[in-house]
Amino acid sequence: MSAAAPDAAARSVDHAPPALEHAQSAAQAGLVACRVCRLLSRPARLANPGNCPRCGARLASRRPHSIQYTWALVIAAAICYVPANVLPVLTTTAFGSTESDTIMGGVIFLWVSGSWPLALIVFVASVMIPLGKLVALAYLLVTTQRGSVRNSHHRTRIYYVVELVGRWSMLDVFVDAFIVALVQLQPLMSVEPGLGVAFFMTVVVLTMLAAQSFDPRLIWDAGDDKDLRHA
């Protein structure tokens, strides 16, 4: 056991934060943490670490091609975002007349009919959250690619929020599904789903996958070592 012991101890609730001068990341120490069972192993070569000795999962120091995959998914989601909002999501046929609604149309309907809390919820979930996720992921990608070392804490927070909040944009898909399921009272009244739903659902799925494919450790790599940049 070496006398000089660089160490970093995780804070527990009652301990003061420790000094970080000698701390290093697992990658800097030549170790890989298994993404499944979190076991730390020392591979023979960092570039091709093999499998975790405990759970057998494929080891990788960072998510492979994280930046490329995330960009591809973000761009694809952005492309689908336009038809998702422009195409109708529900077409109501009542007593012979037909009416189509987009997502915004549904929000306005809720607002006008007095349920403004729900209008707000649907607006946030269906319009703000997907857009916010796309902007946030693009910001994370650009700053990581440029090797930025500032605001790492904030960027990690942003990533955490994107991951947490993403699934809620599925809200409108469920709303439409249940309206369609319940209002099948032909020939007097029936509701059909429109193409907008499929595009909207695609946006949600793609942004969720994009958030999962981004490796948040890349945010900190730039600060650890300028050369340790995995693209």
Q: Which of 46, 51, 86, 128 binds another protein (CB under 8 A)?
A: 51
CB-wise, 72 or 170, nearer to another protein? 170
Write the DSSP assignment of 188-208 as a string of letters: TEEEEE-HHHHHHHHHHHHHH
Site for another protein in 113-152 (CB under 8 A): 113, 115, 118, 121-122, 152
Residue 61, phi-psi category: left (phi > 0), alpha (psi -120 to 50), beta (remainder): alpha
Task: Report the residue from 77, 129, 158, 208 that binds another protein according to the rule CB under 8 A.
Answer: 208
SS3 of 184, please? strand
The CA distance from 80 to 198, in Å, is 10
- The single residue listed with the structure tokens 């020392």 is 42
Residue 131 beta carbon to another protein: minimum distance, rounded to whole angstroms: 18
Which of 73, 134, 158, 201 contacts another protein by CB under 8 A? 201
The DSSP letter of residue 125 is: I
Across the strands, what pairs with 93? 98, 190
Stretch touching another protein by CB under 8 A, among 4-12, 63-71, 74-82, 137-145? 4-12
Comparing CB distances to another protein, the nearer of 78 and 122 is 122
**Shortest Å, Cβ 78 to another protein:** 19
Instruction: Give the footprint of another protein on residues 174-193 (CB under 8 A).
Output: 174-185, 188-189, 192-193
Among 33, 59, 129, 136, binds another protein (CB under 8 A): 33
How far is the C-alpha of 101 from the C-alpha of 194, rounded, in Å?
9
The stretch among 46-54, 65-73, 127-135, 136-144 that binds another protein (CB under 8 A) is: 46-54
Give the total of residues touching another protein (CB under 8 A): 91
If DSSP codes are grouped into helix, strand and coil, which group holds residue 186? coil
> If DSSP states are collapsed to H, E and C, what string results for 41-107?
ECCCCCCCCCECCCCCCECCCCCCCHHHHHHHHHHHHHHHHHHHHHCCCEEEEECCEEEEECHHHHH
Interaction residues for another protein, span 157-176 (CB under 8 A): 159-160, 163, 166-168, 170-176
Interface positions, 90-109, toward another protein (CB under 8 A): 94, 106, 109
Q: Smallest distance from the beta carbon of 68 to another protein, in angstroms?
A: 20
